[in-house]
Chain A
Amino acid sequence: MGTDISPAEFDLIVIGTGLQESLIAAAASKREKSVLHLDPAGYYGSQWTSFQLDQFLDWSKSHGCDTSEASDNGIGSQQTSTLKNTAEEESFLEVPISNDPGTYTNVEVQRAEGAELGPSKEYNIDVAPRVVHCAGSLINALLDAGAQNYLEFKLLQQSYVWREGRYVRVPASRADIFKDRSLSPVDKRALMRFLQKAQQSFLGQPTGLERDKAFVEVLREEGLAQPLRDVIMYALACIPSSQEEPGLTGRPVSAAGGMAALARYMESVGRYGADTAAFLVPLYGGGELPQAFCRVAAVAGALYVLRQPVTSVLLHPDSRSCAGITTSTGQVLRCKALATSCGLLPPLLPSRSAQQPDESPDESAQRPDESPAESAQLPYELPAESAQQQRVSQAVAIIDRPLQEDESQVLVVLPPGAVSNIHPVYALQVGPATACAPADRYLLYLSTPAAAATAAQDLRPALEALVNVHGVDCNVAATSTKQGEEQSGSDARPNALLSAYYNRVASPSDSALQHQPANVAVCDPPDASIGYEAALQGAQALLQRLFPDVQGEGLFPGGSRANDDESDEEAIEALSEVLDKLGTPRITANEAV
């Protein structure tokens, strides 16, 4: 474009327009910091974006030939620091940065021959699909930021658990629990008892519940059988990874963590109308969410530039704090703080000697061959542990009718082992009612923590359980049309017209923050959960890292929900109400009277 960006100095420069990046831009801008928000891409949302169908197919093609590992994105391989002299005759260490985070691998797309997909622009396909808790931090942030007019939502109509090859409604009310034929009287009693205990634990009454104990252990001790544990852990508390052997990896979720997640669900139930719905989905897809915060920032004065690659970060030679960036047009832009999407920056601080300022930066940088000073080489090596970044397997299918008649937005949880899956698989369906697909077409998203080598291996069994994928299987593609026409009436599954699989990075590399200067924040990629809680908490922490003066404030102070304590109290109050409704065992009810 050739247009230089002016002014050339900002309080904050943000690279990438993902959710956390946009939250930070909006929060800083609302606090009257000068903000420049850039994106190398031509669209908003980075790893949180929604694509139209053509864009999605282009995107998958551009990642299709890349079968390399996620960490092989150029960072660390040929990084060298050089000295940059600006017009003011200041000298900076210039560190090249990547414009492709290399987040996606194992991308596979299969399309049924002759399938009518409809207009591309009527699709909004989320790259990292998830649902919004009605009473979650995201909703509060939207309200506090004044972004409520930018978005519309629809309620998720129903949650299901996939059990023994069929859909089982997730009981969301006392009546549901009593009606549920899959629950024995013993189960029902155990569930009621547990819920009462949960209620007490939130009211601060002694329950004998050890907060550090594994959540799953608590559930077992309460006499809750596997199917009930599955419902509580995966459908209500939305814990994204397996909590029981053989799938358990790492530390299981604690009782305190599990109870907090349960509380969030309970408080969400019924907040927006229908009395059983806990989740919302935004119209036009999740990509609208970062855009809403970008508009908040823009209205508050932030400057927006897309299609603007950044070639390097400039560091003060002595402190190694960030002083600015250089754009692909060669323009130097100064900043007091920098936030970026994950995967763009190499570690800017020496990995071993972070505290030792380089005593002779000029010398080592000017003659790297002659003086291979340790401090000049160490900083930009890719740390080995980043190879262990958590990955998520994703699938998306375009299907020709909803999973359940008349239900456009549903969530299906396939607990570990339901279809030989190791971790829970979350299947989210959206459709024309949320403007994510054209008429008579629906999107089915599947997500699970990566366990097998590829996303397709992780998710194909789950997808095949829910939909008929014969039409898109490569091997039978030639005969798919005939099969499609003569489909037997007994198969109630919708047909997949297109299916795509991919892996994506779901956690920042271990070094993302500890090897960066204090005025640099590296944002998290969309995490492995199906919600926004971690992203919002992470954004707040990053904002406080960059601007220590906002310590103790929410992302958007002045909003009605800025006070954390207050919302906690509200949450507990609401939880106990819901738990009351859900079912206090008769005995206690009598005692209470």
Chain B
Amino acid sequence: MSLRRQDYDYLIKLLLIGDSGVGKSCLLLRFSEDSFTSSFITTIGIDFKIKKILIDNKWIKLQIWDTAGQERFRTITSAYYRGAMGILLVYDVTDESSFNNIRNWMRNIEQHASDNVNKVLVGNKCDMDESKRRVPYSQGQALADEFGIQFFETSAKSNIKVDEVFQSIAKDVMLRLRDSQTDSPSAGPAGSGNVHLNSTTNSAKQSKGCC
């Protein structure tokens, strides 16, 4: 990737995946803007957010993409998964079907994302009263163990473990990228010479003048 102004060491693309209403957008807004609103009915308008974090003395620029509501009828575009390095699989601890659907989302990921993408399982809304909880912590942990991935229970509302989730997945991705810097798998495409429309339009305009 051609990085003109290198103000970070790694650019990492993360995705949020999971059923409608589990709090994906809220997690994203809590992490990127430290804000929370309970009035989201369904995702409108959140495309992606950028946040820079420091891990092991490396600046990591996170580009975190939201589903834009296309998860509602399981119609996430295959394009959404392109180039994803890490995926947060989110369910709602008070909604059992959102937990059961994690396996479906996992299949979706296997079909469309690259094989080595890092994943983390997130049970959101852990601030809710225990009487409303439908998925015990141990069940989430067991599923995560089965997939061989990390597990967190979070609350975007009460700001519990939100930073930790993003830090964790970002670090996993960073370590993987560092270990496999040369072989860049699946990755003719991630290689050099890719044209990004926004960056090159300007340079094209500039070059017009000089020749």
CB contacts (< 8 Å) of B48 on chain A: these are 149
CB contacts (< 8 Å) of B75 on chain A: these are 44, 304-306
List residues 147-204 of chain B with CB under 8 A from any CB of chain A. Answer: 186, 188-189, 191, 193-198, 200-201, 204
Q: What is the minimal beta-carbon distance from A82 to any residue of chain B, in angstroms? A: 28
Q: Complex: how many Å from CA A172 to CA B74?
A: 46
Q: Complex: how many Å from CA A113 to CA B188?
A: 28
In the complex where A299-B45, A304-B72, A439-B188 touch, is A272 in contact with B194 (Cβ < 8 A)? no
Please determine whether B194 and A288 come into contact, CB atoms closer than 8 angstroms. Answer: no
In the complex where A304-B69, A577-B208 touch, is A44 in contact with B78 (Cβ < 8 A)? yes
Which among B73, B188, B200, B204 is the interface contact of A304 at CB below 8 angstroms?
Answer: B73
Q: Complex: how many Å from CA A280 to CA B195?
A: 8
Please determine whether A272 and B208 come into contact, CB atoms closer than 8 angstroms. Answer: no
Q: What is the minimal beta-carbon distance from B79 to any residue of chain A, in angstroms? A: 4
Q: Complex: how many Å from CA A306 to CA B68?
A: 15
In the complex where A152-B189, A299-B45 touch, is A271 in contact with B204 (Cβ < 8 A)? yes
Please determine whether B73 and A273 come into contact, CB atoms closer than 8 angstroms. Answer: no
Please determine whether A288 and B73 come into contact, CB atoms closer than 8 angstroms. Answer: no
Q: Which of B48, B69, B73, B191 has the most CB of A within 10 A?
A: B73
Interface membership of B47, Cβ < 8 A: yes
Please determine whether A150 and B79 come into contact, CB atoms closer than 8 angstroms. Answer: yes
Per-residue B-contact encoding for A84-107, CB less than 8 Å = 1, 0 else:
000000000000000000000000
The secondary-structure label for the interface of chain B is loop
Please determine whether B189 and A148 come into contact, CB atoms closer than 8 angstroms. Answer: no
Q: What is the minimal beta-carbon distance from B55 to any residue of chain A, in angstroms? A: 24
CB contacts (< 8 Å) of B44 on chain A: these are 299-301
Q: What is the minimal beta-carbon distance from A290 to any residue of chain B, in angstroms? A: 9
List residues 37-68 of chain B with CB under 8 A from any CB of chain A. Answer: 44-48, 68
CB contacts (< 8 Å) of A294 on chain B: these are 70, 77
Please determine whether A143 and B198 come into contact, CB atoms closer than 8 angstroms. Answer: yes
Q: Complex: how many Å from CA A560 to CA B201?
A: 12
Please determine whether B194 and A154 come into contact, CB atoms closer than 8 angstroms. Answer: yes
CB contacts (< 8 Å) of B201 on chain A: these are 143
In the complex where A292-B79, A295-B80 touch, is A273 in contact with B70 (Cβ < 8 A)? no
CB contacts (< 8 Å) of B79 on chain A: these are 44, 150-151, 284, 288, 291-292, 295
Q: What is the minimal beta-carbon distance from A146 to any residue of chain B, in angstroms? A: 8
Please determine whether A273 and B200 come into contact, CB atoms closer than 8 angstroms. Answer: yes
Please determine whether A151 and B197 come into contact, CB atoms closer than 8 angstroms. Answer: yes
Q: Complex: how many Å from CA A295 to CA B207?
A: 32
In the complex where A142-B197, A294-B77 touch, is A434 in contact with B189 (Cβ < 8 A)? yes
Which among B47, B83, B195, B197 is the interface contact of A299 at CB below 8 angstroms?
Answer: B47
Interface membership of B111, Cβ < 8 A: yes
CB contacts (< 8 Å) of A299 on chain B: these are 44-47, 68
In the complex where A44-B78, A148-B196, A284-B82 touch, is A298 in contact with B69 (Cβ < 8 A)? yes
Per-residue B-contact encoding for A561-593, CB less than 8 Å = 1, 0 else:
000000000000010010001000000000000
In the complex where A150-B79, A154-B195 touch, is A306 in contact with B189 (Cβ < 8 A)? no
Interface membership of A184, Cβ < 8 A: no
Interface membership of A121, Cβ < 8 A: yes
Please determine whether A298 and B70 come into contact, CB atoms closer than 8 angstroms. Answer: yes
Which among B46, B70, B72, B200 is the interface contact of A272 at CB below 8 angstroms?
Answer: B200
Which among A3, A121, A154, A292 is the interface contact of B193 at CB below 8 angstroms?
Answer: A154
In the complex where A271-B204, A273-B195, A288-B82 touch, is A434 in contact with B188 (Cβ < 8 A)? yes
> Smallest CB-CB separation from A577: which chain B residue?
B208
CB contacts (< 8 Å) of A378 on chain B: these are none
List residues 411-467 of chain A with CB under 8 A from any CB of chain B. Answer: 431-435, 439
Q: Complex: how many Å from CA A291 to CA B195?
A: 18
Please determine whether A433 and B188 come into contact, CB atoms closer than 8 angstroms. Answer: yes
CB contacts (< 8 Å) of A192 on chain B: these are none
Please determine whether B194 and A152 come into contact, CB atoms closer than 8 angstroms. Answer: yes
Which among B82, B189, B195 is the interface contact of A155 at CB below 8 angstroms?
Answer: B195
CB contacts (< 8 Å) of B188 on chain A: these are 431-435, 439
Q: What is the minimal beta-carbon distance from B109 to any residue of chain A, in angstroms? A: 12
In the complex where A143-B201, A150-B79, A433-B189 touch, is A304 in contact with B195 (Cβ < 8 A)? no
CB contacts (< 8 Å) of B77 on chain A: these are 44, 291, 294-295
Q: Complex: how many Å from CA A308 to CA B191?
A: 38
CB contacts (< 8 Å) of B78 on chain A: these are 43-44, 284, 287, 291
Please determine whether B197 and A139 come into contact, CB atoms closer than 8 angstroms. Answer: yes
Which among B73, B112, B191 is the interface contact of A306 at CB below 8 angstroms?
Answer: B73
Please determine whether A149 and B198 come into contact, CB atoms closer than 8 angstroms. Answer: yes
Interface membership of A122, Cβ < 8 A: yes
In the complex where A280-B195, A295-B77, A299-B45 touch, is A122 in contact with B186 (Cβ < 8 A)? yes
Q: List 26 interface pairs A-B (beta carbons < 8 Å), by A numbering.
A: A44-B75, A44-B79, A121-B111, A121-B112, A139-B197, A142-B197, A148-B196, A148-B197, A148-B198, A151-B79, A152-B189, A152-B196, A155-B195, A273-B195, A273-B200, A284-B189, A294-B70, A295-B70, A295-B77, A295-B80, A300-B45, A303-B69, A305-B75, A439-B188, A577-B208, A581-B211
Closest 6 pairs between A and B when the two form their complex, measured CB to CB: A148-B197, A435-B189, A298-B68, A291-B79, A432-B188, A291-B77
The interface of chain B, by Cβ under 8 A from chain A, is 44-48, 68-70, 72-75, 77-80, 82-83, 111-112, 186, 188-189, 191, 193-198, 200-201, 204, 207-208, 211
Known: A152-B83, A298-B70. 10 other contacts (CB 8 A): A1-B73, A148-B196, A154-B193, A154-B194, A273-B195, A283-B194, A288-B79, A295-B79, A295-B80, A304-B75
